[in-house]
Amino acid sequence: MAIDYTQKIPNNVNLADDRTLQRALEQWQPNFITWWDDVGPEGSTNHEVYLRTATSVDPQGWAVFDYVKMRDYRWGIFLNPADAERQIHFGDHKGEKAWQDVPGEHRANLRRIIVTQGDTEPASVEQQRHLGLTAPSLYDLRNLFQVNVEEGRHLWAMVYLLQKFFGRDGREEAGALLERTSGDANNPRILGAFNEKTPDWLAFFMFTYFTDRDGKFQLAALAESAFDPLARTTKFMLTEEAHHMFVGESGVSRVLQRTAQVMNELKTDDPALVRAAGAIDLGTIQRYLNFHYSVTIDLFGADQSSNAATFYSSGLKGRFEEGKRVDDHVLKGQTYKVLEVQNGQLGEKEVPMLNALNEVLRDDFIKDSIAGIGRWNKVLEKAGLSQRLVAPHKAFNRKIGALAGIKMSPDGRVVSEEEWKAHEAEWLPSPADFAFVASLMGPVLEPGKFAGWIAPPAMGINKNPVDFEYVRFG
């Protein structure tokens, strides 16, 4: 199923056959470009970037790599192929045919789900917009821009659904997606983590590791949806998402590799000496991890949620890998353990599983995240160091849900307000940490050269050498 690139908007959804929709999207397109120019990657207009562009949705070979001016990137609408026989496989409608249109009674909830997902895509581009000015290498600069253009395409994916299936409300929501701005006091993005700053490249790598992984879990849950166009569009988004998480995981690995090298050369674990040598000390890396981990797990929402139950039972949003689970896929009468705060202490209680599905998804995310932290620790182990990174306790630094009611140390002790204040700078990045990391930031723009705080990658992109000219400056 090839993608038609002769159209103004590349697509594999026969857009040319739906003139009303085509016109609506062609009216939205220049607004998207204006948004990109205004709050997208700063100073990038004349760069030619070695980018991947989707040309098909066939898992075997779905993209080509070539130099593209980002502004001329072909953002389009690509859905995975339809299966005419597809059935709903969870919730109250289990066994019925998947929906090709939006049932009236689920319209408001589906719109809300799509808008919330759609809002995160441009938000991350906005959060990352200054990073191109301080890239540690051309290789990294290219990866940043790849993530940015694909988040732009993910916005297109959601806007297509809004405009095709939600009439006038959908058009209004599509407009509003370009109006909210990350961190804006008056008109912020919908979710907390997408209003935080991504001030430097360590934050960028943590963001793409943790927060793009939240994207993976949300998209995977939506890929189960009874609303078939949503399932098909999110399935293809997941193909692109894998690279974003790779950028984060390999980015942090390379930072650790460089730090370990400096620690071994100087035979020290003194953060001041590591910093003086131009590398990022492990304590700072751990604090960044603590921040991004805790802010990201808040994205899964309240631990108990009647909306989560409704979304599942009505077939709008499944669980991660719903099809691989061996239970009745209806979940009535089942329970799940959630944490709760009782008299200022942390306890556990069993609640109806349907109400705890945010927590179920959060726990799946946590498992996946911790596996990658284990791979980071291999870097330290291989370098002969005894230090390890750890995920903080689930209740650490939470702002949403029952756990927002307590102060918790990263290792899982309930602490007083005073103790929190006394240790905050050991647990979360401090202004001094940010200032130090900022002082290391680039740019390094010569092919094959890397900033002193990060090791080169083992391989280049698309089998090209590491010193390939990934970005040409116009």
* Cis peptide preceding 81, ω within 30 of 0: no
DSSP letter, residue 396: T
* 212 forms part of the interface with Fe ion (CB under 5 A): yes
Segment interacting with Fe ion, rule: CB under 5 A, options 187-195, 210-218, 224-232, 336-344 = 210-218
CA-atom Rg of the chain in angstroms: 23
Could you give the maximum distance between any two Cα atoms of the chain, in Å? 68
d(CA 306, CA 354) in angstroms, rounded, equals 8
Stretch that binds Fe ion, among 66-74, 138-146, 238-246, 325-333 (CB under 5 A): 238-246
Nearest approach in angstroms of CB 212 to Fe ion is 4
User: Any contact of residue 244 with Fe ion (CB under 5 A)?
Assistant: yes
Residue whose CB is less far from Fe ion, 222 or 285: 222
For Fe ion, which stretch binds (CB under 5 A), given 24-32, 243-251, 344-352, 390-398?
A: 243-251
Which region among 3-11, 215-223, 269-277, 385-393 touches Fe ion (by CB under 5 A)? 215-223
Which part of the chain contacts Fe ion (CB under 5 A), choosing from 145-153, 312-320, 358-366, 393-401? 145-153
Work out how close the CB of 218 gets to Fe ion at its nearest, in angstroms, rounded to a whole number: 9
Q: How far apart are CA 22 and CA 11, in angstroms?
A: 11
Q: Which is nearer to Fe ion, 121 or 228 (CB)?
A: 121
Q: Are the C-beta atoms of residues 293 and 210 closer than 8 Å to each other?
A: yes
Q: Does 216 bind Fe ion (CB under 5 A)?
A: no
Q: Are 124 and 41 in contact (CB under 8 A)?
A: no
User: Given the complex with Fe ion, which of 191 and 339 has the nearer CB atom?
Assistant: 191
Whose Cβ is closer to Fe ion: residue 239's or residue 335's?
239
- Residues near Fe ion (CB under 5 A), total: 7
- Structure token pair of residue 141: 């600069």
CB atoms within 10 A of CB 474: 9
Could you say whether residue 394 binds Fe ion (CB under 5 A)? no
Q: Of 10 and 215, which CB lies nearer to Fe ion in the complex structure?
A: 215
- d(CA 187, CA 209) in angstroms, rounded, equals 27
Q: Which stretch binds Fe ion (CB under 5 A): 99-107, 150-158, 225-233, 448-456?
A: 150-158
Quick one: 158 or 408, whose CB is closer to Fe ion?
A: 158
Binding mask 160-199 for Fe ion (x = CB under 5 A): ----------------------------------------
Going from the C-alpha of 343 to that of each of 34, 118, 340, 347, 396, the distances in angstroms are: 52, 39, 10, 10, 17
DSSP 300: G
Q: Give yes or no for residue 154 binding Fe ion (CB under 5 A).
A: yes
Is the CB of 22 or the CB of 233 nearer to Fe ion? 233
- Determine what percent of the chain falls in helix, strand and coil, rounding each to the nearest 5: 55, 10, 40
Please tell me whether residue 85 adopts helix, strand or coil conformation: coil
Residue whose token pair is 């948004």: 35
Residue closer to Fe ion (CB basis): 237 or 285: 237
Q: Answer yes or no whether residue 142 interacts with Fe ion by CB under 5 A.
A: no
102-131 residues in contact with Fe ion (CB under 5 A) are 121
Burial 270-286 (b: 16+ CB within 10 A, else e): ebeebbebebbbbbbbb
Contact 389, 377 (CB under 8 A): yes
Residues that bind Fe ion (CB under 5 A): 121, 151, 154, 212, 215, 241, 244
